[in-house]
Amino acid sequence: MSNSKSASIMDAGILLPAIGGAFRKLDPRTLARNPVMFVVAVVSALTTVLFVKDLVSGGGNLGFTLQIIIWLWFTVLFANFAEAVAEGRGKAQADSLRKARTETKAKLLTGEDRTKYKLVPGTSLKVGDAVLVEAGDIIPSDGEVIEGVASVNEAAITGESAPVIRESGGDRSAVTGGTQVLSDWVRVRITAASGHTFLDRMISLVEGAERQKTPNEIALNILLVGMTLIFVLATATIPSFASYSGGYISVTVLVALFVTLIPTTIGALLSAIGIAGMDRLVRFNVLAMSGRAVEAAGDVDTLLLDKTGTITLGNRQATQFRPVKGVTEQELADAAQLASLADETPEGRSIVVLAKEKYAIRARDMATLHATFVPFTAQTRMSGVDIDGSSVRKGAVDSVLAHVNQSTVAAHATRPGSDTVRDLQAIADEIAKSGGTPLAVERDGRLLGVIHLKDIVKGGIRERFTELRRMGIRTVMITGDNPMTAAAIAAEAGVDDFLAQATPEDKLKLIRDEQAKGKLVAMCGDGTNDAPALAQADVGVAMNTGTVAAREAGNMIDLDSDPTKLIEIVEIGKALLMTRGSLTTFSIANDVAKYFAIIPAMFAVFYVAPGQTTGPLQALNVMHLATPQSAILSAIIFNALIIIALIPLSLKGVKYRAIGAGALLSRNLLVYGLGGLIVPFVGIKAIDMIVTTLGLA
Amino acid sequence: MTLNGWIQILVYCGIVILLVKPLGGYMHRVFDGDRTLLSPLFGPLERGLYRVCGTSEREEQHWTTYAVALLLFNLAGFLVLYALQRLQGSLPYNPAGMTAVEPGLAFNTAASFMTNTNWQNYGGESTMSYLVQMAGLTVQNFVSAATGIAIAIALIRGFARASGKSIGNFWVDMTRSTLYLLLPFCVVLTLAYVWLGMPQTLGAYVNATTLEGAQQTIAVGPVASQVAIKMLGTNGGGFFNANAAHPFENPDAISNLIQMVSIFAIGAALTNVFGRMIGNQRQGWAILSAMGVMFIAGVAICYWAEAAGNPLVHALGIDGGNMEGKETRFGIALSALFAVITTAASCGAVNAMHGSFTALGGMIPIINMQLGEVIVGGVGAGLYGILMYIVVAVFVAGLMAGRTPEYLGKKIEAKEVKMAMLAILCLPLAMLIFTAIAVVLPTGVASMGNAGPHGFSEVLYAYTSAAANNGSAFGGLSGNTPWYNITIGIGMLMGRFLVIIPALAIAGSLVAKKTVPASAGTFPTDGPLFVGLLIGVILIVGGLTFFPALAVGPIIEHLAMAHGQTF
């Protein structure tokens, strides 16, 4: 898939095949999936048969009937066309994905030795096979790196050409079939059989091949079928009323009234709206595994966001050196920089930079200092350097204190409860309260002070949370930090709540608690330990960089691995529902004008008073349509053309605005409800003038 | 239209609104099983009844059990009423010596009273014995009203409860609404009516000698007691054929006012019970506002049309509004008001002949019924009826607000939409199909009292009134024929039970759902926006369904009148 996702609605490459598609979809088996349009097709066929009968026997107003029949069939074709256009947009993307799925040879490993393999076709691989992928090779199928590290170009999937690192263990072990290893080698255990790979699923998703009706679509269909049945009753009883009133209504006219009354507009566009909703996500580089997930996104009440990477920049940065009493800032900064010289973590680098910028201490070279680096481990929770018998350490306050205590050279001043220790702990507490992370620094058993590491909240994130609040969505920040730190960051970022010192179990419990309160929960995650929570959440967005387990558990995959996208996903879900609701309202509101066009025309000659040419119901012809025939023809033409006119809107979607549900509803009611009342009056009148001018009726 | 007329209309509305809160509070306590003023009196009786029925107030029912209990109870009531009519000749309390009612009419009448319709294809004083009137018709007046209230309460529980299984106990709901609500209020109302001059006697008809010396039989009977429940339970079946136009059934303006108020009292208060049970009275007021706006609009049109009168009559030099078929003691304003109330509320009592209204004035009662009797509506039926429309309105509107639709925290999904559409669909099914057959059937046309569109309106009104369980008649149509007895009877059964079953199904489906707390993403359903939306949905769905039928009936009649054409 390319990044240029600007396939416009009026792209000839989509429109032309769609015309053919519109005719192919006349197959009754395809039509039957859409009850409203199926009914239209049935009555169109019925009138066509009657027309042929009239043609043979001669009689009836053949020219008029023929025109009605043509427009009836156009109504069906336009609906098919709308669906074909929506599908066509997905097909274009599927084709470019297919190119990535070219036949590849796989190096199937026969033993532990990575030099022993045999070349087999990629399609013959089974789940559990181990393959070797070397620089320049295409990864034959989805899998998990079990050995090695490599840079991989995933542009085929994400459209992003910058290579990503894939390595065994940890959360970056998943590789996708069809992507290319650029450097080094990896041993991959295959996790998906041919035909069931991520790429295959993507292709069928964007093509809409697996599309099933979503719960809301089913409910809406029931409503539309109900309306259709009501209008069956309303129109089927008319011949009897007419006969009582001493008149006669032809089947063609009845069918015309019926088709204009039933909700054809929304019926025709419903499936296009659904396909376009999925498609909008794809264009946004998010793959929804089902339409149900997209719908659920619109309903999300609670959003769980990981602090790191989503709310804050991935890394904490040193902002201040706070020495204990009796130590100068310069001294502390010097020691802190020394301890961090070889520390390649972003935090470590930020300490070096801060010392240089604020205290003009130039970074020194490890080799010339004869220093050895002591790396951070989970056990010591400290790192630092040893230089000629002298040692410098920095780390978590508790760890450093414990370390100093054990140290044989520990001075009295560093015993627990001493002034220095209390001073250090006071500083550390103060930093923690402000949401920062304190790192204690010691040199040769002497406590020097604390480095203030601070989480940097992403620019603009606060505004986004305000917007979410206006949408009615509560945000919860998930972090491993202690509650104090978490509270400070939560306040700074403006989230509604936070979950501190969160374990995977805590996350799962939080989701279940929210769901027990009837709320829908969305979250994103990438690690294997996120998988249960992703599966439990109503909308679980897995990062494409994440593990296989996470990708399997989520019901959406974000190809860009950008957690802030959840917000847009929610908006797309809402836009999908709004488009359905708005067009349904528009469709039903249209009926008022159609009644005013057709009823006076139908009953034009009923109860004509002596000396008059038209009956009393002519007074209802408020649009002053020229003749009964032109009125009926104009209504049916309007009914067909409005489908075409609304295709762009149904593909683009009604835009969601975070202005509160009430305001949004009144806005849409005004535009699509009131608009739906007025537009057909204008449209039918205009068409009537054209029809009359052309002499069609 | 006169200022005086409008003052009377507004005074009426004011009284109804003032009653909503106290009555709603009382009913809420009754149905929650809380102690009320009447508990010491009826408590032991209530518990005794439960023991006899083999149930208890703590026992709860799944919606299907509730529905089966309701259907069996109604079936039993139907059979008893049918038998009483057929056997009245050999039963006591028959001083006028009425003979057995013929089967078709007995079926029609039994269906009519069991469904709270009270369509009367018979003249009360000339057909029914006192026993049938009291033990048959009046009993059904009570229990059909109590049934409606029970269903409404069960449906409210569906919204109010979360993650539950049961929607209450039919026997308990029935007993409570009868014992604590209908009976005591009717006793008070009966006394008031007797004081205002209505007969209440088991004695025989009175023979009188007129001033001219002629002999006249004056029908009397236990009138006041039946009128009390007829209005309070929105039944509408008159003791006399002339119904509330008869001086013994509605002697003066005061009795007229009391009757009009009691028609709306329980239906309006139920919206408040709804609000109290779901814990937000504003929601109840919103529903009542929607009803109120449609009601006032109906009154305004009807009153205007009647006050304007018929231009063809004006051309003859007779000024003023249309007084044909109206009682002079009520006048145009109160006749129009009564007509709108009785058709809005599914009561069906009449104090004027609707068929004599102008075409437009007579169209308002038809529309009121075609909308499904949701403007206050029959006791209970009005609330559960409008809740069906609310399901549809919320479904479409909720989508437009960008969320899976929900009402009061309950998600509205496929099952609710399906059931609500079924309930809405059954009305045109019964009203339009039967009308369509009747107007082309020679036996159907033969019963019409007028030709042309007015005759059409008579038939349309009859089936509309039947399916809406209203029971009022347009007049003019001779309904006591096999065809009309049977089809109108079927129409009444369809209009009652094809709404009740879906309503209970929705209750059962909703009660199992969680209640989602409201957020900024849920659109408020207690404000003017929702009220407007609900009115729009009711008018558009109802209007679109019946526009063709109305066009060839009252609309064409009205337009023809402007051309000087009458029928």
Residue with tokens 């009137």: B133
pLDDT for the residue A580:
93
Cβ of A84: how many Cβ atoms within 10 Å?
A: 24
Asked if the model's pLDDT at residue A627 lies above 80, the reply is yes
C-alpha distance from B18 to closest chain A C-alpha (Å): 30
pLDDT-derived band at A10 (thresholds 50, 70, 90) equals low
Instruction: Please list every residue in chain A whose beta carbon sits closer than 8 Å to the beta carbon of residue B539.
Output: none
Answer whether B564 sits within 8 Å of A603, measured CB to CB.
Answer: no
Query: In Å, how far from its chain's centre is CA A623?
Result: 45
Answer with the residue of higher pLDDT: A73 or A301. Answer: A73
Q: What does the pLDDT look like over A533-568, one tens digit per residue? A: 888 999 998 887 777 778 788 888 888 777 778 888
Which chain A residue's Cα is nearest to B515? A518
Of B399, B429, B435, the CB nearest to A577: B399
Interchain CB distance below 8 Å, A223 and B396: yes
- Please work out, in degrees rounded to the nearest 5, the angle formed at the alpha carbon of residue A497 by the alpha carbons of A494 and A500: 110
Q: Is the pLDDT of residue A412 over 60?
A: no
Q: Mind telling me how many Å the CA of B228 is from chain A's nearest CA? A: 38
Which structure tokens are listed for A332? Answer: 């502390």
Query: What is the pTM for the complete model shown?
Result: 0.87
Does A484 carry a binding-site annotation?
A: no
Distance (Å) from the alpha carbon of B475 to chain A's nearest alpha carbon:
20
Q: Considering only the beta carbons, identify the residue of B433, B435, B563 that sits closest to A616.
A: B563
Closest Cβ–Cβ partner in A234, A245, A516 for B432: A234
A343 is in an annotated binding site: yes
**Is the pLDDT score of A113 beyond 80?**
no
Cβ neighbours around B21 below 10 Å, total: 16
Average per-residue pLDDT for chain A = 85
Q: Known binder of ligand: residue A380?
A: yes
Q: Which pLDDT value is given to residue A285?
A: 83
- Annotation-wise, does A689 bind a ligand? no
Q: Which residues of B fall within a CB distance of 8 Å from A574?
A: 402-403
Contacts with A512 from chain B: Cβ below 8 Å: none
pLDDT tens digits, residue range B109-163? Answer: 999 999 999 999 887 778 888 889 888 998 999 999 999 999 999 999 999 998 8
Name the β-bridge partners of A120: A106
Query: Least CA distance to A608: which residue of chain B?
Result: B560
- Which of A470, A579, A607 would you mutate first to test chain B, the one with the most B CBs within 10 A? A607
A166-180 as b/e: b if 16+ CB within 10 A? bbbeebbbbbbbbbb
Task: Point out the residues of chain B with pLDDT beneath 50.
Answer: none
- CB-nearest to B552 from A233, A245, A471 is A245
Contacts of B412 in chain A (CB under 8 A): 219
What residue of A is the nearest CA neighbor of B415? A219
Task: Calculate mean pLDDT across residues A21-40.
Answer: 91
Residue A566 Cα, gap to closest chain B Cα (Å) = 16
Neighbours of B55 (CB within 10 A): 17
Residue A662 to residue B529, Cβ atoms within 8 A: yes
pLDDT (0 to 100) of residue B391: 95
Query: pLDDT digits over A498-519, tens only?
Result: 998 888 888 889 999 988 888 8
Predicted local distance difference test score (pLDDT) of residue A416: 61
**A661/B524 CB distance under 8 A:** yes
Paired strand residues for A382: A395
Domains, in order of start, for chain A? 12-92+206-283+570-694 (no CATH), 103-205 (2.70.150.10), 303-311+458-559 (3.40.50.1000), 315-456 (3.40.1110.10)
B474: tokens are 């347009």
More confident residue, B482 or A405: B482
Residues of B in contact with A225 (CB under 8 A): 421
> Which of B435, B533, B546 is closest, CB to CB, to A669?
B533
* pLDDT in the model for residue A408: 53
Q: What is the largest CA-CA distance in chain A?
A: 124
Mutation target among B552, B559, B566 for the A interface, most CBs of A within 10 A: B552
How many Å apart are CA A204 and CA A587, to the nearest integer? 31
Contact list in A for residue B402 (CB cut-off 8 A) is 298, 573-575, 577-578, 656, 661, 664
Which of B418, B520, B563 is facing A472, going by the closest CB pair?
B520
3-class secondary structure for A359-394? Answer: HCCCCCCHHHHCEEEECCCCCCCEEEEEECCEEEEE
CA A599, distance to chain mean position in Å, is 46
Is it the case that residue A8 has pLDDT exceeding 60?
Answer: no
pLDDT at A353 over 90: no
Q: Which of B403, B523, B564 sits opposite A609 (nearest CB)?
A: B564
**Of A98-107, A343-352, A684-693, where does the model show the most confidence?**
A684-693
pLDDT of residue A480: 79
Between CA B521 and CA B409 the distance in angstroms is 12
SS3 A522: strand
Residue A523, min C-alpha distance to chain B (Å): 18
Closest CA to B176 of B300, B289, B42: B42
Q: Which is it for strands A143-153 and A180-190: parallel, antiparallel or unpaired? A: antiparallel
Catalytic one among A200, A279, A306, A591? A306
Strands A302-306 and A521-525: parallel
Do residue B404 and residue A672 have CB atoms under 8 angstroms apart? no
DSSP string, A431-450: HHHTT-EEEEEEETTEEEEE
Q: What is the pLDDT of residue A5?
A: 42
CA separation for the pair A46, A31 (Å, rounded): 16
Confirm or deny that A444 is annotated as ligand binding.
no
Residues of A in contact with B560 (CB under 8 A): 607, 609, 616
Give the per-residue pLDDT at A3.
Answer: 38
Q: Tell me: is residue A383 an annotated ligand-binding position.
A: yes
Confidence of residue A688 (pLDDT cuts 50, 70, 90): very high
A230 and B424: CB-CB below 8 Å?
A: yes
Sign of the CA dihedral with A356 first, then A359, A362, and A366 last: negative
Does A394 count as an annotated binding residue?
A: yes
Tallying the residues shown for chain A, one arrives at 697
| pLDDT interval class at A7 (50, 70, 90) | very low
Residue A360, C-beta contacts closer than 8 angstroms, at least 6 positions apart: none
Whether A301 sits among the annotated catalytic residues: the reply is no
Higher-pLDDT residue of A65 and A200 is A65
Query: Which residues in chain B have Cβ-Cβ distances shorter than 8 Å to A222?
Result: 414, 417-418, 421
Question: Cβ contact (<8 Å) for B400 and A668?
Answer: yes
